């Protein structure tokens, strides 16, 4: 693969979401943020379950990734992608709502 790893972590607001919600009332943003928090919790649980399954058989020195390992990686990518949207919603709202 021809990419470099970026070891610095920065939060990135998703500009399309900012634009989409720029004229929406706070109540709408809060409803969407609460929904995103709930969804994120489900995705974290799913990724954790996939991790347990993937590492139950420990890949060892296998060259080909197993289905469980790929499912774990996909679940984790989905969780982190959704976290970017959630972080943007929290930044727009300016606070963490009660869930």
In this structure, is residue 2 part of a structural domain? Answer: no
**Average pLDDT score over residue span 62-82:** 91
CATH label of the domain that carries residue 42: 1.10.287.160
Least confident among 25-39, 47-61, 82-96: 47-61
Q: Which domain holds residue 87?
A: 25-56+65-93
Specify the length of the chain in residues: 99
**Average pLDDT score over residue span 47-58:** 88
H helical segments located in the chain:
15-21, 26-56, 67-93
Q: How do residues 7-30 score in pLDDT, each as one tens digit?
A: 555 667 899 999 999 999 999 999
User: Total domain count for the chain?
Assistant: 1
Residue 55's pLDDT is what?
Answer: 86
The terminus-to-terminus CA distance of the chain in angstroms comes to: 41
> Mean pLDDT of all residues in the chain?
88
């Amino acid at each position: 693969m021809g990419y470099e790893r970026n070891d610095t972590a920065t939060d990135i607001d998703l500009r399309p979401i900012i634009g989409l919600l720029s004229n929406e009332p706070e109540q709408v943003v809060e409803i969407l943020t609460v929904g995103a928090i709930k969804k994120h919790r489900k995705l974290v649980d799913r990724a954790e379950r996939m991790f347990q399954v993937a590492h139950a058989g420990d890949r060892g020195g296998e060259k080909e990734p197993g289905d469980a390992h790929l499912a774990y990686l996909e679940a984790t990518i989905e969780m982190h992608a959704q976290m970017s949207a959630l972080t943007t919603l929290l930044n727009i709202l300016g606070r963490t709502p009660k869930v």
